[in-house]
Structure 1
Amino acid sequence: MTDLGEFGTDPGSLHADTYIPKSFPKNGPLIVVLHGSTQSAEGYDRGSGWSELADECGIALLYPEQRKTNNPLSSFNWFKSGDTSRGGGEPLSIRNMIKQVVDDHGIDPSRVFITGMSSGGAMASVMLATYPEVFAGGAIIAGLPYGSADNMMEALVRMKGYGGPSDRGLDALVRGATTFDGPWPTISVWHGGSDSTVDNSNADSIVRQWQNIHKVEGPPTREEQVDGFPRQVWCNVEGREVIEEYIIGGMGHGTPIMAGGDEGLGEEGK
């Protein structure tokens, strides 16, 4: 991983690292990877195996990183008013990082994606809502819906699955974040079925937040099994998959990976 260095204004006072494989093609894709609480960018990369996958697939990676001076747990501040709006705070810092990496490495701007785990997942929700035109899609892992909390106390309550905006309120929060009117990024939601840190009811809330945005309200278009795990899919009128949800039975708070075997990536956590 390489320090990004300068990337324009940094109102959120974040750090950034990149990983660009030697095999990276011109007009290749970029994935923005947001670590969780108590983690570093390097530690989350090592555990999740993203750089190994990037080598295999020719993907550029951008790792925004929180500073302990901003948050003592190294959490992204997904619940603070100054860090949840377009044009300021951590979202603008991340947006400026993305622009720098796209310009530096000839990345296809229509192939920029974002993913994050825990507080990083919640910040991925923030970025998808506040800068939807930047992303082709996003994967929110063990995260929370955009705008579901305005302070630390509310954040802790929402993490346990209590309270929060109504479905109509969730939808309105995304629509109110920008003047954007589509096409919207596709949404992938992942959560452990036994997560005791961020209750998996938040996964369903994220799905509901984006259903009206994508005009796919109601039950999933189809349900299927992928490697033994249930996947729910919502398709739009053109038949395109726009939202998916995985609840990984028996898994706690973390990122689902396959670490073992010849094709395994990352390091299995406890």
Structure 2
Amino acid sequence: MKFLSYFSSALALLGSAVTAHPVFNELMTPVAPLKRATGAFQQVPNFGPNPSGAKFFLYTPNRIAENPAIVVAIHYCTGTARAYYSGSPYAQLADQKGFIVIFPESPYSGTCWDVSSRSTLTHNGGGNSNAIANMVTWTLERYNADPKKVFVVGESSGGMMTNVMAATYPEMFAAGIVYSGTPAGCFYSQSGAVNAWNNTCSNGQINSTPEVWAKMVFDMYPGYDGPRPKMQIYHGSNDNILHANNYRETIKQWCGVFGYDPNRPDTTQSNTPQWGYTTYTWGNGQLVGVYAQGVGHSVPLRGQDDMRFFGL
């Protein structure tokens, strides 16, 4: 594919260091205990082709809305679907609003997501992204869900995968929210390694142009010319696992995709949505960046704000 040759060269020039994926405990910012969900959390064993072996867990509230929305909530490294179900606000929000939550689970040791291989960085390529897309398709059909109200959110490794999902399946998602991730394709492995770690990217040493980053997205689904999901990007200035420069590069990537100037947001709001956070908006909300001064890895989830961004 085109992106393999052009982006391989770009990473080689930058001295990309791709290694076996380390197993580490991510320094997640503590959050307040969540109210217990009241619906059903269960594994779905058979949902269609799944060559990557990702697991599919589904949360259905007791009262499901007619033609419900779907939120795909993707866990961090060392996490599981059950841990994210218990530790994130999305099941409780589903109880309130009647949408369905898909909690995918990584099949790899350490449970990071594959955001490095050619298969996962390709539309219908057979990797983790393809498996998650098939979970969405199964849920849409089984619950007569609204295909115009499918959303994806994740933090850290799950945030990285959220960018990949928005790039590889733009027709599937109305919006994506990334907490403390990296640009789609930033971990790309020239060797095709699955679930590889990229020190150059994680350390924030890859600096490219909006055009190069955008081409990476476009080449993940060649020929696609339809609408793309709106995106919201959170990152902390003190992130010592996925360096804060990944915020700037992710903003450049989506500015390149949407045709905005990353240096000229339409609005800049200090101390929004809370003190120390700065919110930047492009294109009437098509792209929103939230930079959290003094916050490490990862930015705490903001469930109610997520619902507003999703229009739920």
TM-score (norm 1): 0.88
Contact 1:149 1:164 in 2 (8 A): no
Q: 2:215 aligns with which of 150, 156, 172?
A: 172
Q: Which residue of 2 aligns with 1:250?
A: 294
CA distance in 1, matches of 2:216, 2:197: 16
**Change in 2 beyond 3 A, CA 1:12/1:119:** same
Separation (CA, whole Å) in 1 of partners of 2:265 and 2:63:
38
What are the within-5 Å matches in structure 2 for residues 64-79 of structure 1?
Answer: 64-67=104-107, 71-79=108-116
Summarize deviations over 1:73-121 as a string: whole Å, max 9, x none: 1111101223221112111111111000111112100100101111111
1:158–1:164 CA contact under 8 A, matched in 2: no
1:226 aligned onto 2:264: no
Give 1:107-126 correspondences, 5 Å limit: 107-126=145-164
Greater mean alpha carbon deviation, residues 214-223 or residues 145-154: 145-154
Change (3 A) 1:126 1:258: closer
2:183 maps to 1:145? yes
Compared CA separation, residues 245 and 258, structure 1 to 2 (3 A): closer
Question: 1:80 corresponds to which residue?
Answer: 117
Q: CA–CA distance in 2 between the matches of 1:204 and 1:222? A: 16
**Number of matched pairs:** 253
**Structure 2 counterpart of 1:53:** 93
**Does structure 1 retain, via aligned residues, the 8 Å contact 2:236–2:295?**
yes
From 159, 162, 171, give the equivalent of 2:202: 159
Q: Residue in 2 aligned with 1:100? A: 138
Give 1:16 deviation, angstroms. Answer: 0.7
The answer (yes or no) to whether the contact 1:222–1:234 under 8 Å persists in 2 is: yes
Could you give the per-residue CA deviations for residues 148-206 of structure 1, whole angstroms, max 9, x where no partner exists? 12237762220110125433210111111112113111011011221111111111111
Instruction: Determine helix, strand or coil for the equivalent of 1:246.
Output: strand
1:255/1:50 CA distance change after superposition, 3 Å:
farther
* Structure 1 residues 17-66: Cα deviation after superposition (integer angstroms, max 9, x where no partner): 01111122111211101101001111122222221121122221001101
The one-letter code matched in structure 2 to 1:223 is T
Gaps of 5+ in 2: 1-40, 190-194, 305-312
Is the contact between residue 148 and residue 165 of structure 1 (CA under 8 Å) also seen in structure 2?
A: no
Letter in 1 for 2:173: F
- In 1, the alpha carbon distance for the partners of 2:255 and 2:228 equals 11
Question: What's the secondary structure of 1:33's corresponding residue?
Answer: strand
Tell me, in whole angstroms, the C-alpha distance in 1 between the residues paired with 2:196 and 2:130: 24
Query: 1:129 matched to which residue of 2?
Result: 167
Separation (CA, whole Å) in 1 of partners of 2:228 and 2:70 = 18
Distance 2:229 2:122 in 1: 18
Note the C-alpha offset of 1:242: 0.3
* TM-score (ref. length: structure 2): 0.77
Does residue 1:22 correspond to 2:62, yes or no?
yes
1: CA distance, partners of 2:75 / 2:60: 18
Q: 1:189 to 1:258 in 2, by over 3 A?
A: closer
The answer as to whether partners of 2:207 and 2:249 remain within 8 angstroms in 1 is no
Distance 1:50 1:192 in 2: 22
Q: Which amino acid aligns with 2:238?
A: S
